[in-house]
Chain A
């Protein structure tokens, strides 16, 4: 009889226990926190950044900051909330740095190697989840349009419209007041409308 393979070496400690261990000097426990949260953080970062190297950089910064600031986590709220707040703020900072460094025009990436109405059709059609190429194209379109709005607007649009978070949740994550989030949400919607309009008018001219 063949011996069964051993189960994967999973750490059953809670987030709070792991944090206490890391703060107490057991650095290796931090790896378990990374393993737990990295898929979600990669998923989040890819909503803000198109380039894979930018995604990896920002995820590395998020985890490094988390390690450095873990001592300031006071266990009053769940770690996940604290961590998401830090992650979103790090993405926001990275977006601001990136927009200063590199302004990308809407036409730079959008219309190369495309037929006249390909993008317009893509806007109206939901891509098949199994068609990776269609998903990549749709993702490129979304990044291109969202790349035209301000960083604040992008954060608010992503949290509110794409992730479906409430105003209160956004206020908690970003650290802004509820009224500021409402104002930003209104402006973000306006900016997005203008970006979509520019996109469509550009296409009509082609």
Chain B
């Protein structure tokens, strides 16, 4: 405090008063205290401005987009091109349609096949019996087939015997 008073006195007495006042001003330490919540207050204001600017940009963009007239220009003879395409659809080769349908059927068929496999194995496990794939089919005696074949082969000759 005495220092400050001395400075003031010197300043008042000196010829270059302005310089002294400036020196005095420099001697006063900066008060850097910040009110509580000041940063938050400023940031909320900044966000508000940002939102307003962005929404203005939205509106500007939409206004621009609305003001572009629809370009309804049609290429020359475009309808002829579509009609040619439609007629090509009408005159499509039946084999092409058939092969397309077959290809479309591939996925469902695979699905059904997988389902059947799962069901077959699932049933085998749940009943405690052997799976279907491992059950042996009934086997006929090999001689019986040979006998049947011979009977069929010689049937016509038997008929001939009767007519003679």
B16 close to chain A: CB less than 8 A: no
Report the separation of the CA atoms of residues A162 and B68 in the bound assembly, to the nearest whole angstrom. Answer: 9
Q: Check A19 for interface membership: any CB of B closer than 8 A.
A: no
Which chain A positions have C-beta within 8 A of B63? 126
* A-B pairs with beta carbons under 8 A, tally: 98
Q: Specify the chain A residue showing the minimal Cβ separation from B70.
A: A43
Interface residues of B in 58-82 (CB under 8 A from A): 58, 60-75, 78-82
Q: Is the CB of A46 within 8 A of B70?
A: yes
Of the candidate stretches A27-35, A108-116, A177-185, the one touching chain B is A27-35
A34 to B61, CA, bound (A): 33
Tell me if A76 is interfacial: C-beta within 8 Å of chain B.
no
**Which residues of chain B have a CB within 8 Å of any CB of chain A?**
54-55, 57-58, 60-75, 78-83, 85-87, 89-90
Q: How far is the CA of A175 from the CA of B132 in the complex (A)?
A: 48
Please measure, in the bound complex, the distance between the C-alpha atom of A138 and the C-alpha atom of B155, giving whole angstroms: 93
Kindly provide the distance from the CB of B81 to the nearest chain A CB, expressed in whole angstroms.
7
Instruction: Give per-residue flags for A33-63: 1 if the beta carbon is below 8 A from chain B beta carbons, else 0.
Output: 0110011101110110000000010011001
Q: What are 25 A-B pairs with beta-carbon distances under 8 A?
A: A30-B86, A31-B80, A31-B83, A34-B78, A34-B82, A35-B79, A38-B74, A42-B74, A43-B70, A47-B70, A63-B82, A64-B86, A67-B89, A123-B57, A125-B64, A135-B68, A135-B69, A142-B61, A142-B64, A161-B62, A162-B62, A192-B58, A196-B61, A197-B54, A200-B57
Q: Give the distance in Å from the alpha carbon of A125 to the alpha carbon of B64 in the complex.
A: 7
Q: Of B57, B62, B67, B69, which is within 8 A of A197 by CB? A: B57
Q: Which residue of B lies closest to A161 (CB)?
A: B62
A123 and B65 CA atoms in complex are apart in Å by 9
Give which listed residue, B65, B69, B71, B78, contacts A161 with CB less than 8 A.
Answer: B65
B68, A127: Cβ atoms under 8 Å? yes
